[in-house]
Amino acid sequence: MAELTTHTGGGPALDAATLAKDFPLLSRKVNGRPITYLDSAASSQRPSAVLDAMREYDETTHANVHRGVYGIAEEATRRFEAARTNVGRFIGAPAPSREVVFTKNATEALNLVAHSWGRSNLERGDVVVLTEMEHHANIVPWHMLAAERGIELRWLPIDDDGQLVLDDLDAVLDGAKVLAVTCMSNVLGTLNPVAELAARAHAAGALVVADACQAVPHLPTDVSALGVDLLAFSAHKMLGPTGIGVLWGREELLQSMPPFLGGGEMILDVRKDGFTPNDIPWRFEAGTPPITEAVGLGVAVDYLRAVGMDAVRAHEISLTSYALDALRDRFGADIRIFGPQAAEDRGGVLSFAFRDVHPHDISQILDEYGVCVRAGHHCAKPLMRRLGVNATARASFALYNDERDVDTLVEALDAAGKFFG
């Protein structure tokens, strides 16, 4: 792995250009130009260390886990479980080997919560509180439960700066059974005060479910400090592979929850008249899990830990600040950047409207310059309606982006403006 520079006197905490060399895809060209990858909020790239570890596991160790008595099966199981514990430690889990459930992705993790905890704890008339900035993954499972159970969904609003409006929080939480909230908006970059929200939700008797998809890859994350009950995130947004996500839950809470999917692995016993579910976390992992992917996720966690999450956060504040200034200086009133206006109040996600050029057209022109940004509703249509737009263009950063990427974005955006004149 690339060496890191030390953080001194407010200088760069990490050397993004050096780290970028660890990511093979970032050396490719797009339309004849070096790639400028600004879509890590959708999916991040993977360092060679992750790709190599997955290949090495597949070539030397692969067998099914928790089944074989033979050597490599034991070794595969050991590596799979080591990845689990590693991930748990990374987020400060008090019982890392029992509190981390591997899922297909964060969406499945949130569906698991709604299905398992929701169906055994919520009845007609019960209230689930969401925020206007949630991703569809933290909305639709609750909608489905509402349709099935007749539960009520309440919404915490946002203000024009993209911050949650908490003036009526206690009234909104009154009688609520669940608060489901994102740690960081995938559109606005807003960093929500999750610890405060969790404390007040608990005081109201509500369970707290956190969507940490954008937080875990970019911020130091400690589940105990956050005080939440359940927390979901995806490997592929944190330098790991697709196909694996994580649900963390407090041990005694997971113990109380019934299984989600049924099948192999999740049982202790199956008889003709029924079954006995397995212990946590395997109770929630029906069927053969994503083993290679767990190995990859474990190495992604090692990589992030070696860089240091404080350094990642410092770098992204610095880069976001640079980008906010560069875009405003060049385009003035022609660009509208959504969300909090100060870099310290947000993550490295910049959604914007540029003149009246449609995000699709912006993205198309940017692609000509090798610049990859997302255009669309970002799976947050209630938020789009609140912002009064159908779609936005979104540039998002990771530890391998630097100021040159921002400069390229600005130049390409300028070209898009000229094209649609």
Partner 1 sequence: MPGLEDLYREIILDHYRSPRNRGELESPPAVRVEGFNPLCGDEIVVTIDVEDDVLADIKIAGTGCSISQSSASLMSAAVKGKSLAEVRELIGTFRQMMSIHESTLPSDGAGGGSSEAAEPQAIDIDALGELAALQGVVKFPVRIKCATLSWNTLTQGLDEAGVPA
Q: How far is the CB of 359 from partner 1 (least distance, A)?
A: 7
Count of residues near partner 1 by CB under 8 A: 17
Return the structure tokens found at 311. Answer: 């350094």
Q: Of these, 84, 283, 377, 394, which contacts partner 1 (CB under 8 A)?
A: 377
364 CB neighbour count, 10 Å cutoff: 13
Catalytic residue numbers read 379
Site for partner 1, residues 150 to 179, rule: CB under 8 A: none
Please pick, from the candidates 91, 173, 384, 406, the single residue that binds partner 1 as defined by CB under 8 A: 384
Query: Among residues 14, 81, 25, 92, which one has the least CA distance to residue 312?
Result: 14
Our finding on whether 420 is near partner 1 (CB under 8 A) is yes
User: Binding of partner 1 at residue 419 (CB under 8 A)?
Assistant: yes
Q: What would the two tokens of residue 25 be? A: 């895809």
Q: Which is nearer to partner 1, 34 or 68 (CB)?
A: 34
* Beta carbon of residue 358, minimum distance to partner 1 (angstroms, whole number): 4
Q: Of 275 and 419, which CB lies nearer to partner 1 in the complex structure? A: 419
Query: Residue 131 and residue 309: Cα distance in Å, rounded?
Result: 26
Closest CA to 186 of 133, 143, 239, 265: 133
Among 28, 67, 78, 381, binds partner 1 (CB under 8 A): 381
Q: Looking up tokens 């569906």, which residue turns up?
A: 111
Handedness of CA 283, 284, 289, 295 (dihedral sign): negative
Residue from 81, 361, 403, 411 in contact with partner 1 (CB under 8 A): 361
Question: Could you tell me which residues come within 8 angstroms of residue 237 by beta carbon, excluding any fewer than 6 positions away?
Answer: 40, 41, 42, 43, 44, 213, 214, 216, 217
Helix (H, G, I), strand (E, B), or coil: what is residue 8? coil
Interaction between residue 358 and partner 1 (CB under 8 A): yes
Cβ of residue 328: shortest distance to partner 1, in angstroms?
A: 25
Binding mask 386-405 for partner 1 (x = CB under 8 A): ----xx--------------
The reply to whether 365 sits near partner 1 by the rule CB under 8 A is yes
Which residues are CB-neighbours of 332 under 8 A, at least 6 positions away? none
Which residues are near partner 1 by CB under 8 A?
A: 31, 358-361, 364-365, 368, 375-377, 381, 384, 390-391, 419-420
